Amino acid sequence: MSDAQPILKVSNIESYYGPIMAIRGVSLSLSEGKIVTVLGANGAGKTTILKTISGVLDPLKGAVEFEGKSVQRMDPDKIVRLGISHVPEGREVFPFLTVRENLAMGGFLRTNRDEVAQDLERIYGYFPRLKERLDQPAGQLSGGEQQMLAISRALMNRPKVLLLDEPSLGLSPLLVKEIFGIIRRVNAEQGVSILLVEQNAKKALETADYGYVLEVGRVVMDDTCARLMQSKDIQEFYLGAKEDSARGERRWKKKKTWR
């Protein structure tokens, strides 16, 4: 992207799970106030990128810069303190803590009680259903409610950058719509920059401003979402559009242009 100073910049990172190289020199950048999405199939390395940014995995090579300062190989709690919150894949709420306590943990680093109370009110505005369930253990919530809680919990830290890993995982289409609506509102109303990792390419491209396409640990394509949606490859391989050949059959062995 051409914007002057990206809030989050990842350059040439390589991360391993043991001997397996999960990402092979990925670079991407996120401008302030934007939503950027990373698309890719299972095992492409999307989650690994987010884990590397939030400090859970240390990259072997490359740099992660947040607001111009390099943050790679910092402890995850220090990175959260700087203002990057991670909503992990599969929600990972604290099952035996109540919803209220889960939210309080999201605000663990906050000290100003008035601001915390304001943020709670705002979150109840986004997700009224959480307010009804405040004193229930989070493990008893439905999958959709847990996802709402996971997002709310991350917002309690007033992050500058929100890393969202598969927010649509296992949710009904209606809930997916609701969650993505909230993601857009959070971005518009609070100016939170968002890095969104998604399998649901259609939703992700509709929501985000800019997109990267990841295959086996490499970025193979990046462009604005409007243009990505027009791309033949994206349409066929990620959006599932069928292109009929001259003989009226689908060509199964069609090659992607980047191969």
Partner 1 sequence: MLDFIQQLVSGVALGCIYGLIALGFVLIYKTTEVVNFAQGELLMLGGFFAFTFIALLGLNYWIGFALAVVCMAAFGAASERFVLRPVLGSPQFSIVMATVGLGFFLRSVAGMIWGTDDLKIDTPFSTGVLRIGDLVLAHDKLSVIVATAILCIALYLFFTKTQLGTAMRATSENMLAAYYMGIPVKTVVSLTWAISAAVAACAGVLLAPITFIHSNVGLVLALKAFPAAVLGGFGSIPGAVVGGIIIGVIENMAGFYLAQGWKDVAPHIVLLTMLLLKPEGLFGHIGRKKV
Q: Could you list the residues that contact partner 1 (CB under 8 A)?
A: 54-56, 75-77, 80-81, 85-88, 90-97, 101-102, 104-106, 108-109, 139, 143, 146, 153-154, 157, 170
Letter for the amino acid at 153? Answer: R
The H or E element spanning position 36 is strand 35-40
- Smallest distance, partner 1 to C-beta of residue 96, A: 6
- Per DSSP, the residues of 118-172 read HHHHHHHHH-HHHHHTTTSBGGGS-HHHHHHHHHHHHHTT--SEEEEE-TTTT--
Q: Which is nearer to partner 1, 125 or 139 (CB)?
A: 139
Q: Which is nearer to partner 1, 82 or 220 (CB)?
A: 82
How far apart CA 96 and CA 92 sit, in angstroms, is: 12
- Smallest distance, partner 1 to C-beta of residue 130, A: 16
- Smallest distance, partner 1 to C-beta of residue 55, A: 8
- Smallest distance, partner 1 to C-beta of residue 110, A: 9
Q: Which is nearer to partner 1, 163 or 214 (CB)?
A: 163
Q: Which is nearer to partner 1, 17 or 96 (CB)?
A: 96
Q: Which is nearer to partner 1, 93 or 182 (CB)?
A: 93
- The 10 Å Cβ neighbour count of residue 110 is 14
- Closest CA relative to residue 88, chosen from 184, 154, 20, 1: 154
- Smallest distance, partner 1 to C-beta of residue 152, A: 12
Q: What are phi and psi of 82, to 5 degrees?
A: -70, -25
